[in-house]
Structure 1
Amino acid sequence: MTEEKSAFDTFELNLSPAIVGFLKETSSWTYFLSILGFIGIGLMLLFGVFFSVAMGFMPGGNPYEAMGMDMNMSYFGIVYVVMALFYFFPVLYLFNFSRKMKSALSAKNNDDLTAAFSNLKSHYKFLGIFTIAIMSLYILIFVGALFTGLM
């Protein structure tokens, strides 16, 4: 009893010169964008730490104190640090995609090509899940605001 293989099991992908050119250009742009992303993450971390420290030492640093709200304004800097941590992973995936794609195209290595597309998949998967989470949060805030406004 022989097992039949489909055409897709024995299919080998041959990249035309045009596709290789598109992938080279894409990897260059994703490398550029990932470097800018890492710079942005660094700036967000610096700003978050600076804001936390500056607001912690500032006398009368709570503008909401007159309304009776006792909150430490230095916690707002932590928001930037958390945002930088969330932003780090998609930028890292994009950076790894560009490095692996450049390596795959220069060495004609299928393993690097697979790793490159795996990182691209992870990049978009992270962004998709994050987008769903943020949209869900917006909906919850909207519904909460409706119920709060009706009471």
Structure 2
Amino acid sequence: MKPEAHYNTGPNELYLDVRLLQNLSGTAKWGKVLAVLGFILSGFILVFGLFMQQMLQSPGRAERVADVGLSGFTIVVYAFVALVYFFPSLYLYNFASGMQQGVQERSRQKVGKAIGKLRVLFKFLVIMLLLFLVLFAISLVMLGTGLSDFSLQ
């Protein structure tokens, strides 16, 4: 029998050497820590948004805020930022949990699903970053046109 024949696995098994298993397991652990910290940060952003809304509605500031229209808009912006930050954390958590389970059980299917969840995370991040770049470019154009209008006056 060839030495490689020992490493052939069935469709629900996965053979990985010890070093690769340790690296995958360590990556999943750090991914889970990062995801949990992301959940906590999302919660803090939401709580901070509620705090800011209350501050903007405090006596003495309410009149100035009403003119600008920030009182209700503040919580919407902070809730949106918290939601945008929540989803990558969720995708990362799903990847880390699936990878830990797949490595522990040495299941090819579970490791494959975990990698698929990591792919979803990367897609989300690419879309989010492209949107932010487009918004940044639009804001630069608006700033440039605003400055040119200001210099003409």
Report the TM-score range of the alignment, normalised by the length of the smaller protein.
Answer: 0.7 to 0.9
Report deviation, 1:62: 4.9
Equivalent-residue separation in structure 1 for 2:120 and 2:94 (angstroms): 10
Equivalent-residue separation in structure 2 for 1:139 and 1:118 (angstroms): 32
- The reply to whether residue 59 of structure 1 matches residue 54 of structure 2 is no
Matched-pair contact (CA < 8 Å) for 1:30–1:98: yes
- The reply to whether residue 85 of structure 1 matches residue 83 of structure 2 is yes
The higher relative CO (CA closer than 8 Å, separation ≥ 6) is in 2
**Where do 1:102-121 residues align within 5 Å?**
102-121=100-119
Equivalent-residue separation in structure 2 for 1:118 and 1:45 (angstroms): 29
SS in 2 for 1:15: coil
The structure whose residues are more often helix, as a share, is 2
Kindly report the root-mean-square deviation, in angstroms, between the aligned alpha carbons of the 2 structures: 2.2
Q: Where do 4+ consecutive residues of structure 1 move more than 6 Å?
A: none
Equivalent-residue separation in structure 1 for 2:78 and 2:134 (angstroms): 21
Structure 2 residue identity aligned to 1:29: W
SS in 2 for 1:136: helix
Report deviation, 1:64: 5.0
Report deviation, 1:37: 0.7
**Where do 1:1-150 residues align within 5 Å?**
14-56=15-57, 58-62=58-62, 64=64, 69-150=67-148
SS in 2 for 1:20: helix
Structure 1 stretches lacking a partner, 5+ long: 1-11
Equivalent-residue separation in structure 1 for 2:54 and 2:146 (angstroms): 34
Question: Do the aligned partners of residues 74 and 59 (structure 1) sit closer, same or farther apart at CA in structure 2, a change above 3 Å counting?
Answer: farther
Identity of aligned residues (%): 29
Matched-pair contact (CA < 8 Å) for 1:31–1:99: yes
- Normalising by structure 2, what TM-score? 0.80
Count residues with an aligned counterpart. Answer: 137
Report deviation, 1:54: 3.7
Report deviation, 1:118: 1.0
- Normalising by structure 1, what TM-score? 0.80
Structure 1 residue identity aligned to 2:98: K
Structure 1 residue identity aligned to 2:112: T
In structure 1, the residue matched to 2:5 is: none
Instruction: Tell which deviates more after alignment, 38-47 or 21-30.
Output: 38-47
Question: Do the aligned partners of residues 134 and 70 (structure 1) sit closer, same or farther apart at CA in structure 2, a change above 3 Å counting?
Answer: closer
In structure 2, the residue matched to 1:8 is: none
